[in-house]
Chain A
């Protein structure tokens, strides 16, 4: 109970720190949101600029802006976007759904494929197929996602004409969405799978040399049972950490993939907000990402406790 209280306190403190940083970080960036909103070649008088600054609440002292921000947060109001002309909560809701669709599916697919192939490659590392798979996944993990995405687009959309170049859909039907999502999901899943593969492979190689694995073999268990009943459970601990990280940053989108496939996701939202000094969008997005990271960490803690009895045991 004491441990749980300590953990809760830690999470609450982290959350408060995050909220403060969310407010401070955008304001530490160089540049003026009002000038940015007006644009480079548009002339407006200083009076109009001041009027805009007042409308956006940027003329108030920082502490007043901060208290207003906290007050709005307590009312679940994330503010209003300077550039997108909509409430931030509404923008986030829409973007998150699409981001979850392609990043979420990719992370799950990547985790499943990476874990499965990685476990097998770690169990039989000496076979030709596994050596080849290992080389392939190392190459994939070293490839910048941006390049991989462009390469896939060039081959499958341009040369073979199998997939479209951009967007979540052409017409909003499940078939069109699946057709448009196939390439970005494949690229991201491959990338995610490569990391999971390499970690799982290393972890299984380490675990299979442990005494319990030897004991299981001596007991007469088949290879497959040793791997899936005993080894994989212990070997999956680093994968849980990686998955928690991946899920935590799920809401931050996948900027490069979104840019290549012209997807309207969280990655481009945050990028555009940074370029446009759109403080409310940045604050809202960072908050969602931070909450997701906290939640994923909590879930990882729970999953660790399930997978590893030593974590459950009091120190």
Chain B
């Protein structure tokens, strides 16, 4: 029967098609094309609608708490006290109550969304460096940095260090619970620190130097004893996320442990999901969190491979704020976001900065007077204007930016080409043959090679211009990062431009010393200063935990930078963080910016 009905239709279609093709071949082809385009347009319109959901399922009763109370009181008065008035329908009241409850649930399920260009490449909790930063929210480290740059306890209530700086005791807060209900114990802290030391290459120093550790149930503390004095443990322990021992002790190779979640955490939120294909991390409220209750049900970190798309997404309102470790919201996009009108901006000077490193092992850069002249040749204001679009400052000779602890106000760097020329002349660098290029003490023309990574190509161009203006011939050598590492490590340059990160400024003896101490190695470090005075200062800092002594040393170090100019800072840049006006309570710390626990419990809707 089915065939009987279908057959004539098929035959008619076939016949029509044949006729159409024979009689109107051009029209048939055109119609086919139009049909294809229409189908594509239909798909384009139907799919988004389908994906967006089915829309409102029923009638909604938007009603505030007060309105709902009034309606119920009126209902009761009319019904039980016999007062006059129009009795609201029971169905209406039930609907309104349901709607109110739904609203209440929704507000609890509110989501704070953060956009970031730091892409999570692997669902490895321990192995992925970007994930390690974001996991501070679920597995906070023992210590943290406050807005002024002081190290204070986070999971640790307090800490103390022995006189010889080999023994560190951390007293753990008593009100911390893992998201599976277990209590956070000193054993967890002890386990985590040892675990990192054993399993991760970048924390192998723990394994090599940790002599013993003891846990005290009585005062909820853990004590680490090292085989040599360590004065920066409080800083180091501001970066290691604390793990639940009862979960991770059964995982043999944590670096190879790849899991999309959930991960047990002890912060206000725990990491529920790492979805690499959706490009997001989802944090959910820790039901056992005893601290200040966070205002949001969830926190989502959305990562974008392209920073321009991240900014578009923010402008569109898909996300509420923007975060990049050691980085700012792109300066060129700020103006557009300001025009959008929905955003406020948090602006703070970055403790990382861009600087010019001279090769101190080679003449003429080994000559202090030459470096002095060089510092006058650079137009810092123009650099600030062009590189930071005004979101920065001319730096001081003391290198260290103001937000760092124990910052000392040293002399501001000055652009004075005339002074640069005079200083060079006084120091014996003259143009005796009149070719416009100054000669070195060996009588040859000075030709400086500026080694540039592709990231700083424009800065390099500007520097070349500045130096040539005072009679120094320069050649730019732009190389990729890998080649830069090799050339920099073999001191095959005269000048080079690079940058420091917040962590980099704090590493080693802090205040940027880790970049210049010649005894250090590492891809990003210059290791170009072997002056005993500088090395001694570093050692002094590394030998003390006394705040007063540290401050004195920090001042001396900044004086050293200012007097000896082993490095010329080019500009201090600001970290600008936009956030949706609907939320308030943000602050930024010098190490991790806005991504700190305080924000996640304090930020709330206006």
A-to-B contact residues, CB < 8 Å: 29-31, 35-46, 48, 51-52, 80-81, 83-86, 98, 113, 116-117, 120, 150, 153-154, 157-158, 161-163, 165-172, 175-176, 178-180, 182, 186, 222-225, 258-264, 268, 272
Contacts and interface: CB of A to CB of B under 8 A. Distances in A.
Contacts of A172: 277-278
22 contacts: A37-B201, A39-B129, A40-B523, A42-B522, A44-B201, A44-B204, A81-B122, A83-B121, A84-B124, A85-B257, A150-B306, A161-B316, A162-B48, A166-B304, A167-B278, A171-B278, A175-B51, A182-B43, A182-B44, A182-B48, A262-B305, A264-B277
Contacts of B507: 41, 43
A303 to B, nearest CB: 24
Contacts of A167: 277-280
B482 A31 contact: yes
Interface string B170-204: 00000000000000000000000000000001101
A153 B21 contact: no
A161 to B, nearest CB: 7
A182 B276 CA distance: 19
Given A86-B258, A166-B309, A35 B523 contact: yes
Nearest to A87: B256
Contacts of A30: 480, 482-483, 486
Sorted nearest first, the 8 A-B pairs with minimum C-beta distance are: A40-B524, A179-B51, A31-B482, A224-B25, A41-B504, A85-B124, A85-B127, A167-B279
B33 A117 contact: yes
Contacts of A262: 119, 279, 303-306, 309
Contacts of A39: 129, 202, 523
B547 interface: no
B504 A170 contact: no
B50 interface: yes
Contact of A222 (B25, B124, B201): B25
Given A83-B122, A178-B47, A260 B309 contact: yes
Interface string B122-141: 10100111000000000000
Given A178-B51, A180-B51, 15 more contacts: A29-B482, A31-B482, A43-B508, A43-B520, A43-B522, A83-B127, A85-B128, A85-B256, A166-B279, A171-B278, A223-B26, A260-B305, A262-B303, A262-B304, A264-B277
Contact of A272 (B121, B201, B304): B121
B331 interface: no
Contact of B50 (A35, A153, A175): A175
Nearest to A34: B201
A75 B29 CA distance: 53
Nearest to A159: B316
A131 to B, nearest CB: 15
Contacts of A52: 201
B75 to A, nearest CB: 40
Nearest to A176: B51
B522 A259 contact: no
B194 to A, nearest CB: 16
B521 A46 contact: yes
A45 B205 contact: yes
B557 to A, nearest CB: 18
A166 B302 contact: yes
Contact of B524 (A41, A98, A166): A41
A166 B521 CA distance: 39
Nearest to A163: B48
A113 B39 CA distance: 13
A116 B280 CA distance: 40
Contacts of B220: none
A35 B485 contact: yes
Query: How many interface residues does chain B have, given as a range?
Result: 35 or more
Contacts of A268: 305
A15 B351 CA distance: 52
A302 B318 CA distance: 50
Contacts of B47: 175, 178-179, 182
Contacts of B129: 39
Contacts of B205: 44-45
B50 A157 contact: no
Contacts of A40: 501, 504, 522-524
A150 B310 CA distance: 12
Nearest to B501: A41
B514 interface: yes
Interface string B235-266: 00000000000000000000111100000000
A224 B309 CA distance: 46
A154 B311 CA distance: 11
B318 to A, nearest CB: 7
Interface in B302-324: 302-306, 308-309, 312-313, 315-316, 318
B534 interface: no
Nearest to A30: B482
A259 to B, nearest CB: 5
A45 B522 CA distance: 9
A171 B247 CA distance: 28
B51 A85 contact: no
Interface centre among B304, B309, B316 (most CB of A within 10 A): B309
Contacts of A46: 521
A56 B501 CA distance: 28
Nearest to B207: A48
A41 B280 CA distance: 26
B521 A43 contact: yes
A262 B306 CA distance: 7
A42 B26 contact: no
A247 B525 CA distance: 45
Contacts of B306: 150, 259-260, 262
Interface in B504-520: 504, 507-508, 514, 520
B198 to A, nearest CB: 12
Contacts of B128: 85
B51 to A, nearest CB: 3
B334 to A, nearest CB: 17
B313 A165 contact: yes
B503 interface: yes
B6 interface: no
B50 A158 contact: no
Nearest to A48: B204
B28 interface: yes
Contact of A38 (B28, B202, B208, B480): B202
B105 interface: no
Interface string B523-544: 1110000000000000000000
B2 interface: no
Nearest to B312: A158
Nearest to A277: B482
A261 to B, nearest CB: 8
Nearest to B480: A30
